[in-house]
Amino acid sequence: MILSQALLVAAGAVPGAWLRFLLVNHLADRLPSRASGTLIVNLLACFALGCILPGLQRPGVPPGASLLLVTGFLGSLSTFSTLMVELLTVRALGPLVRLVLGSLVGGFLALMAGLALGR
Whole-number CA gyration radius for the chain: 15
Tally the domains of the chain: 1
90 pLDDT above the threshold of 70: yes
Write the pLDDT tens digit of every residue in 20-71.
Answer: 999 999 988 898 888 889 999 999 999 999 999 999 999 999 989 999 999 9
Instruction: Give me the domain span that covers residue 45.
Output: 3-118
Averaged confidence pLDDT in the chain: 92
CB count in 10 Å sphere of residue 74: 20
Give all strands (DSSP E) within 10-100, no chain letters.
none
pLDDT number for residue 85: 87
pLDDT number for residue 1: 65
Non-local CB neighbours of 111 within 8 Å, separated by 6+ positions? 46, 47, 49, 50
